[in-house]
Amino acid sequence: MLHRIENIFRQQEKDKLTIYFTAGYPKLDDTQTIIKALNETDTDIIEIGIPYSDPLADGETIQQTSHQALENGMNLNLLFEQLKDLRQITDKPVFLMGYCNNVLKYGTEKFCKQCAEVGVDGLILPDMPILEYQKQFAPYFDKYGLKNVFLITPKTSEERIRAIDELNGGFIYMVSSAATTGGSWQESPEKTAYLQRIKNMKLKTPQMVGFGISDYPALRLVNQFTDGAIVGSAFLRALDPDKLEQSVKDFISLMRSNK
Amino acid sequence: MAQKIAIDENGYYGDFGGAYIPELLHPNIEELRNSYLDIMTKPDFQEKFKLLLKDYVGRPTPLYLAKKLSEKYGAKIYLKREDLNHTGAHKINNAIGQALVAKELGKKKIIAETGAGQHGVATATACALLGMECTVFMGEKDMERQKPNVERMKILGAKVEPARSGSKTLKDATNEAMRYWINNPEDTHYIIGSVVGPHPYPDMVTRFQSVISEEMMNQLQEHEGKNNPDYVIACVGGGSNAAGAFYHYLNEEDVKLICVEAAGHGVDSGETAATTAKGSDGVLHGSKTLLMQSEDGQVTEPYSISAGLDYPGIGPLHAHLFKSKRGIFKYVTDEQAMQAGVELSKLEGIIPAVESAHALAALSQIDFKASDVVVLNLSGRGDKDLQTYINHGSY
Ligand SMILES: Cc1ncc(COP(=O)(O)O)c(C=O)c1O
């Protein structure tokens, strides 16, 4: 059987969109509401952020939503509880994004087992080194059928990208430029060259581009070269706590519209 | 001894260390990792570094036999006078070393984090000296409690950036510095101020600070006719002064290594920075180490009266010293430290930094023999802490 994520990338003709949001934000029990709302939109992959006290790779928006979620009382046991009915709610691939410490402290095997039980497809841990993945994490990821998504940047060497391509990670997370999350994406010759260079490598793992993507033109552009776009901070900024579902749907319509 | 204490090729001391960093930092860290040893061990680099330590920093720092302190605690107690370094603490050893490395790497800009402001001042100083642009990240709360150091950095030409995230102290200043580095990787070097962070930082900083124990050995030879004391005592925030004071003794079994952590209001008070007492394995600032955290792996806000010890983790070397039992860990409260600071001032005419006062307070927790030779690393002087002494009173 194909992994849920592999099915997505079979659909060649479509601009693919991944949406990231922070679990437990704006309110503690909004996690399910947002997943349900996203399920009714043209979103391809859902990425759920585990709020962390020290999110090194994140800019102000995700720092702030993480802080708020932790204040709201978000924690891992609660998150897995909120995701208990995940597979009744959506068939879309779901990834959890967090930092290594979340997983290590919870217990790597216990964490992976919980992910598998609720139907999470994989993990994105931006501070996970390849070496540590292979040594400490991979056996559990494999045992529970989880994909690990590695990040690359415009500075990542070709050799390293090839090594990452061999790790069968569901997709490769292409960081758009040297920056923390939430910056602004501006089309530039360097960016296009980066996209083209990766496209030319003909990697077997699909690639999605994230960090700073916030509108339709950017979504369109990266889909011309890669397998999709990831939008996080812009989505979080668009959430309206009073009209949560509507604000989710409005944002996706905007991302998908050519106006 | 069971196992030699040493770092392996992946940057681990036993279970602790490594480089858990976002891919965005990988090129910078990799560059450093591939070149730091070559650069540091080059004869002309060594010559430049040693000359600056001697003529500019004022090394070697004295090893002073503190007679009255010795009498009081019933052992022969030497103070390694890192407080007499230029800028008032051991931090300058590392700041100058790394600034020189940055120059070799062709970097023009320097960033640093600081807690007490000592590392910030040391880095600002090194940058003024070597003509580099300097930005120091400092928790907003620390900027308040260490005001004179903020002004010092500015006088030296550095920019001070308040860290407003999280607990607004050292941990957050470190996060902000790393984020800045992610956003400005090209011509910038990050001078981490302690033996923390991703490999190769803990090893590089340890090596730059190892001049402390190198001198100690020679000086003890002069004073005592032997290289090894019975005890070396140092306070541990991130652990750099301790790492420097321990370095040449790590595998000398007869030397007891005493690491003193800040207990804040008490190890079990909920307001503490006693990482080894309250921490567990995890990842902080790019290395696997011991840190104080919730069951969920959220990093706990530490507390200590001393901004330099107010850190929720410790370096991987110290985590390994703790786990392997090679290091003996002691915990000292705010109150005990302040008393010990005042005591040294009255007995020996030396006002120590509040960080170093923690090491002093541990003297009363150890059963010395009269013949014991003890070296206490007096990591810094108390000028920056005048307001803390004034607020505490009772002197
Ligand atoms: C005088 C002094 N001692 C000790 C420390 C703690 O740092 P470390 O444990 O790295 O020596 C500091 C940190 O600012 C300091 O200023």
Q: Which domain holds residue A154?
A: 4-255
Q: Which amino acid is at B320?
A: H
The token duo for B189 is 């070097």
Please indicate if any CB of chain A lies within 8 Å of the CB of B164.
Answer: no
Supply the angle between the helices B118-130 and B91-104 in degrees, to the nearest 10.
Answer: 40
Residue numbers of A annotated as active site: 47, 58
Protein residues with CB under 6 Å of any ligand 1 atom:
B 89, 115-116, 118-119, 194, 235-242, 308-309, 353, 355-356, 379-380
Q: Do residues B338 and B392 lie in contact, with contact meaning Cβ atoms separated by under 8 Å?
A: yes
Would you say the C-alpha torsion B328, B332, B338, B339 has a positive or negative sign?
Answer: negative
**CATH class of segment(s) B21-52+91-198:** alpha beta
Q: Whose CA is nearest to atom 16 of ligand 1?
A: B118
Minimum-distance ligand 1 atom for the alpha carbon of B205? 10
Q: pLDDT value at position A182?
A: 85
pLDDT, tens digit (0-9, with 9 covering 90-100), for A154-168: 999 999 999 999 998
Q: Where are the domains of chain B?
A: 21-52+91-198, 53-89+206-392
Q: Whose CA is nearest to atom 1 of ligand 1?
A: B380
Residues of B in Cβ contact (< 8 Å) with A175: 23-24
Centroid of ligand 1 to alpha carbon of A53 (angstroms): 24
Can B50 be counted among the known catalytic residues? Answer: no
pLDDT, tens digit (0-9, with 9 covering 90-100), for A59-77: 999 999 999 999 999 999 9
CB atoms within 10 A of CB A135: 12
The CATH code of the domain that includes A141 is: 3.20.20.70
Residues of B in Cβ contact (< 8 Å) with A106: 296-297
The average confidence (pLDDT) of chain A is 94
ω before B60 within 30° of 0 (cis)? yes
pTM over 0.90: yes
Q: pLDDT value at position A2?
A: 66
| Residue B368, SS3 per DSSP | coil
Would you say the C-alpha torsion B388, B390, B393, B394 has a positive or negative sign?
Answer: positive
Which residue among A102, A128, A153 places its CB closest to the CB of B24?
Answer: A153
ipTM, two decimals, is: 0.93
Can B91 be counted among the known catalytic residues? Answer: yes
Which residue among A127, A160, A179 places its CB closest to the CB of B20?
Answer: A127
Q: At A37, is the pLDDT very low, low, confident or very high (cuts 50, 70, 90)? A: very high
What distance in Å separates residue A82's CA from the closest CA in chain B? 16
Residues of A in Cβ contact (< 8 Å) with B185: 155, 178
pLDDT tens, residue order, chain B (395 aa) = 456 899 999 999 999 999 999 999 999 999 999 999 999 999 999 999 999 999 999 999 999 999 999 999 999 999 999 999 999 999 999 999 999 999 999 999 999 999 989 999 999 999 999 999 999 999 998 998 888 899 999 999 999 999 998 888 899 999 999 999 999 998 999 999 999 999 999 999 999 999 999 999 999 999 999 999 999 999 999 999 999 999 999 999 999 999 999 999 999 999 999 999 999 999 999 999 999 999 999 999 999 999 899 999 999 999 999 999 999 999 999 999 999 999 999 999 999 999 999 999 999 999 999 999 999 999 999 999 999 999 999 88
Q: pLDDT value at position B1?
A: 46
Centroid of ligand 1 to alpha carbon of B309 (angstroms): 7
The token duo for A205 is 């793992």
Residue B214 CA to residue B232 CA, distance in Å, equals: 13
Q: Do residues B292 and B279 lie in contact, with contact meaning Cβ atoms separated by under 8 Å?
A: yes
The token duo for B280 is 């567990």
| Residue A104, SS3 per DSSP | helix
The burial of B302, by beta-carbon neighbours within 10 Å (0-12 exposed, 13-18 middle, 19 or more buried), is given as: buried
pLDDT, tens digit (0-9, with 9 covering 90-100), for A198-212: 999 999 999 999 998
H or E stretch at A68 = helix A60-72
Q: Kindly report the backbone phi and psi dihedral angles of residue A95, in degrees, each rounded to the nearest multiple of 5, phi listed first.
A: -115, 145
Residues of B in Cβ contact (< 8 Å) with A57: 22, 24, 179, 182
Topology annotation, domain B53-89+206-392? Rossmann fold (3.40.50)
pLDDT value at A259 more than 70: no
Count of domains for chain A:
1
Q: Say whether B182 and A152 touch across the interface (CB within 8 A).
A: no
Please tell me if the domain spanning B21-52+91-198 has the same topology as the one spanning B53-89+206-392.
yes
Q: Say whether B21 and A152 touch across the interface (CB within 8 A).
A: no
Residue B241 CA to residue B219 CA, distance in Å, equals: 18
Which residue among A57, A105, A129 places its CB closest to the CB of B24?
Answer: A57
Minimum-distance ligand 1 atom for the alpha carbon of B209? 11
Q: What percent of chain A has pLDDT over 70?
A: 99
